[in-house]
Amino acid sequence: MRFSRRTNWNTEESVLARAHRMRVQAGLPIADLTASNPTRCGFSYPTSLLDELADPRALVYDPQPRGSLDAREAVCAYYADHGAVVRPEQIVLTTSTSEAYSFLFRLLCDPGSEILVAQPGYPLFDFLAVLDDVALTAAPLIYDHGWQIDAEGFRRAINPASRAIVLVHPNNPEQPLLYLGPQ
């Protein structure tokens, strides 16, 4: 089977992946800061963690395109506790930040549109951009006792094809995407 050219990525094992695999095979300790599955990170969970699954409402399949109303109301309550008024119809929940970014890329951009991304940034954007038929334009960050936005560098990176700016603190994909509006 031949997949789309969008997925014609180099999938050969990288030097880092090979070193990781060899350490695992040798039984050597690893401090893997890329691990994102909390079930494999050795966290201790309270024994009551899964009690909510015994609630009969958890067995009802009720798909809602924006996410469950109960969950969206909980998000609104969180923001209310922090002084912001948000209504449930303003909230859209996704299964991951990657899915949310992909939805936003497709919602805000036409094929070939550009999205400005801070560099260094979140490497997954490269893959999402290819899958969503958009291009990424790098905009610099400055390192001075921590990462900071290079406002002039961002201004220089904006061009007529720019549709959005993604501002992400390095290694933290949980940050917002900014829409530039009609061009």
CA gap 10, 27 in Å, rounded = 28
- Closest by Cα among 163, 143, 141 to 154: 141
User: What is the domain extent for residue 112?
Assistant: 97-179
Residues in the chain: 183
Q: For each of the chain's 183 residues, which pLDDT tens digit applies?
A: 777 877 777 888 989 889 989 999 999 988 877 777 888 778 888 999 888 888 888 788 888 999 999 999 999 999 999 999 999 999 999 988 889 999 999 999 999 999 999 888 887 898 999 999 999 999 998 888 778 888 899 999 999 989 999 887 665 545 554 545 555
Q: Is 20 inside any structural domain?
A: no
The count of other CB atoms within 10 Å of the CB of residue 173 is 19
- The number of folded domains in the chain is 1
Q: For residues 40 and 120, give the distance between their C-alpha atoms in angstroms, rounded to a whole number.
A: 27
Hunting for tokens 């961002």 — which residue is that? 154
Q: In this structure, is residue 168 part of a structural domain?
A: yes
128 within domain boundaries: yes
Residue tagged 């994102």 (tokens): 36
CATH of the domain at 172: 3.40.640.10
Query: Quick check: is 149 in a domain?
Result: yes
Query: Would 174 be classed as within a structural domain?
Result: yes
The rounded distance, in Å, linking the Cα atoms of 105 and 35 is 26
C-alpha–C-alpha distance, residues 60 and 51, integer Å? 16
